[in-house]
Amino acid sequence: MPNLFQTNHQSLSPRLKFYQDNRFVLSLWVFITLVFVIDSWATHRYNNYLIFENTFRNLLNGRSLYAYYPAYHDDANHYGPIFSVLIAPFAIFHNWIGLLLWNLFNCFLLFKAIQTLPLTEDQKVIIGYIAIPCVIESMLNQQFNAGAGALMILSYTLLNKDKGIWAALCIVLGTFIKLYGIVGLVFFFFAKKKPAFILWLILWSVIIFLLPMLFASPEYVVHCYVDWKNSLVGKNMVNVLGDGIDISIMGFFRELFDEKKIPNFLFISLGAILFMLPFINISRFKKRRFQLMILSSVMIFPVLFSTGAEDCTFIIPIVGVGVWYVQESNEAMKKVLLPILLLITCNFPLLLFPVLAKSHPLSLAIISLPYFLAWLRVIYNATNNRFAYAEETEPEMVTALID
């Protein structure tokens, strides 16, 4: 495994060990995916996938996408109406095949997205290793979070290649599925053809909004968007004031001070101000390192400040942490912060003492704290002139092409 605590920014050479090759990292990701798919087969643990694939049948039959269906699965769907169309190619298969293809799809999509980053091969390898604890959690829970993270990355890398039409699609699709993707709109500042980019955003928004109407009536689809809003509001209320566990940074501080009434608005307002702070200096916008810090912030911020975040959702911000890590020049900070973050991300209290951990929510909510510290460092780097204007030292810093 590459030394995660010493990034020399040199490109890979043929003499490097096999575990320093991206193909080996991909094989690890696929192995992890297959292990948890087989585990699901053996234990008949399909619940999250059943929620997802059932949305397509509900769309076809005009039933609510957000109601509870205890005869089919526990819990309920919280993704946007377009998700019921996205899941359709997997829902047509038997559940055990559909689950396999679904998890592999998310695994490959995120890995491929990371390969499009304007980084050296060894830096991408490091990000791949850093993400492994959250890859495990994501594949275990059969979620779309890996795909959502991939859309965030692609919305930047495609725009960076002057492919605004496809970057706009990634932003709109990510937003209409999980809302997190909306923060990708800040990449507008990096667009070379801003009027065209705005038009593509509008056009894709109309298309994605209307697409479910190919399978159901317009009245039904419009009502689904209302139901989606209500489901998200309800989930927020359960996590903050009910029996749910809020592992956002707001939840951490509420548990730390034992004060449930601290409003989300206070945290989100301060977070939004910090999030937009780097954009004060327009002259930095074309700097690659600045752009990568913004990408890192885009991937960390929405999960950190979302009361709907779950442990499996952290596959999104951990890639953002990886992007920060390979660009960070402060070795002491890297050696301290990343090990702590990875240790807490493994969620040992829940893994080893689930009953005790659930009775002490602070032991679970603390997962957001190291991500919050990493995000603050990202914001500092993005606003720091010395970081933003540092000369490139990587000899092979060429943006990867998307096939």
- Taking residue 182's Cβ as centre, other Cβ atoms within 10 Å add up to 15
Average pLDDT over residues 263-290: 91
Structure-block tokens of residue 307: 């009361």
Q: Which residue has the higher pLDDT, 257 or 57?
A: 57
% the chain with pLDDT above 70: 89
Q: Is residue 326 predicted with pLDDT exceeding 70?
A: yes
d(CA 111, CA 131): 10
Average pLDDT over residues 131-155: 95
- Each residue's pLDDT tens digit, 199-248: 999 999 999 999 999 999 999 999 999 999 999 988 877 776 666 678 89
The average confidence (pLDDT) of the chain is 88
Amino acid at 128: G
**Residue 70 CB-density burial (10 A; 0-12 exposed, 13-18 middle, 19+ buried):** exposed
Q: Is residue 401 predicted with pLDDT exceeding 50?
A: no
Ranking 33-42, 292-301, 356-365 by mean pLDDT, the lowest is: 356-365
d(CA 174, CA 375): 21
Confidence of residue 394 (pLDDT cuts 50, 70, 90): very low
% the chain with pLDDT above 90: 69
Length of the chain (residues): 403
In sequence order, the 6+-apart residues with CB closer than 8 A to the CB of 261 are: none
- Each residue's pLDDT tens digit, 93-130: 999 999 999 999 999 999 999 999 999 999 999 999 99
pLDDT at 259: 79
- Taking residue 286's Cβ as centre, other Cβ atoms within 10 Å add up to 11
Confidence of residue 353 (pLDDT cuts 50, 70, 90): low
pLDDT at 400: 38
- Each residue's pLDDT tens digit, 176-202: 999 999 999 999 999 999 999 999 999
Long-range contacts for 133-138 (Cβ within 8 Å, ≥24 apart)? 133/318, 133/342, 133/345, 133/346, 134/312, 134/314, 134/315, 134/318, 134/345, 135/29, 135/32, 135/33, 135/107, 135/315, 136/32, 136/36, 137/311, 137/312, 137/314, 137/315, 137/347, 138/106, 138/312, 138/315
pLDDT at 403: 37
Confidence of residue 260 (pLDDT cuts 50, 70, 90): confident
Q: Which residue has the higher pLDDT, 362 or 112?
A: 112
pLDDT at 390: 58
Most confident by average pLDDT, 285-289, 347-351, 354-358: 285-289
- Each residue's pLDDT tens digit, 62-73: 999 999 999 898
pLDDT at 242: 60
Listed residue (181, 51, 204, 198) closest to 113, CA to CA? 181
